Structure formats: structure tokens, C-alpha cells
Amino acid sequence: MYLVTGLGNPGRSYAKTRHNVGFMLVDWMAKEAGVKFEPLENYAVTCTTERINKTLTLAKPQTYMNSSGFAARQLVEHFGMDLSKTLIVYDDLALPLGTIRIRRSGGSSGQKGMQSIIAALGTQDVPRLRIGILPDNPPADYSDFVLERFARKERPILEEVLDRSIAAIDTVLTDGIEQAMSLYN
């Protein structure tokens, strides 16, 4: 079994914002699989599906981005997951819109959700898929920017990068994270 956790903020007002690209990805995968998210206690919503002959649990923490670590730790413990069988998906302001990066481990690069996860799990050895959200013209205020919706002209790029991210996850499931890194980074 694999656990893919998309990071974001719960609630309708955040649904289509840049900071919720992790939620968008797992929502896209759930919709494609025809499964619906159900509450798991009070810290996450999850659903389970089969993908490429593997059981895959999709999760969205309900603890808000900056407190994602609590939910991530609870999810890992609840499902008895080895961290090598997990993947955290989140937005990254250091990457241009339309790019992705897969890593087996590393620091948070200032992303507060990932920072919270590293602290809660006590290790940087947490596989992750970062989705770039930086536009051609960087904004003056990043805190407001991440809570804005994608511009109309950015939506086709977003859809393409979500599809590519799913293909990368499929490669992780079938051939491992190293192969996914060499193909998609």
C-alpha cells in the first residue's frame, strides 16, 4: 500500500488557491478513480483506490497547511506506513509554474506544511513531490499570492502539470522513486 498526502487548507474559500495544489492533485486522482473522500477522525479525509495493481490511499489533512505535521504523523501511524511508501505533494514557490520535482528526502525549503511534517515525523527522509507555482513575474507579497486562485491563462498549465504529476506518481508505484526522479525532474 502507498499513501499519497496532498497538502492544502480545508474549506471552500481555499479550494482553488495556489497553496492547495496538493489537494487539487489528490482530488484529481480520486475523481479519475471514481472514489470519494471520507473523514478519518478529525484530522484528515481519505479514500482508497487501486492504481497500477497497487493499493493507494489518498489523503488531505484537515489541520491547515502550517499544521500538516500532526495529520501526517497520524496518517502514517493509522495505516502503519513505512515512510518509503508515502509521498507528500505540495506547492513550491521556488519552482516555476508547470514544473515538478520529486525527492526522496531533504529540507522544507521554507514551505511551512513540509516543515511541520519534518518536525512531527522527526526526519527529513520523507518522499515528496513539489509542484511549482511561481509565475513569470514574481509577486511582491508571497503570503497573499499563495492564497490567490490561479489566473485563467495559468489553468491549462496547471491541468498539464497535474496530469504529469499523476504520471510521475504512477512511475513511483511501478518503478520506484529513483526512476521517477530521473524521468520527471
DSSP secondary structure string, the chain? Answer: -EEEEE----SGGGTTBGGGHHHHHHHHHHHHHT---EEETTTEEEEEEEETTEEEEEEEESS-GGGHHHHHHHHHHHHT--GGGEEEEEEEEEEETT-EEEESS---TT-HHHHHHHHHHT-S---EEEEEEE-SS--S-HHHHTTSBPPGGGHHHHHHHHHHHHHHHHHHHHH-HHHHHHHH-
Is residue 19 part of the annotated active site? The answer reads yes
Among residues 8, 9, 18, 19, the one annotated as catalytic is 19
What is the set of active-site residues? 19
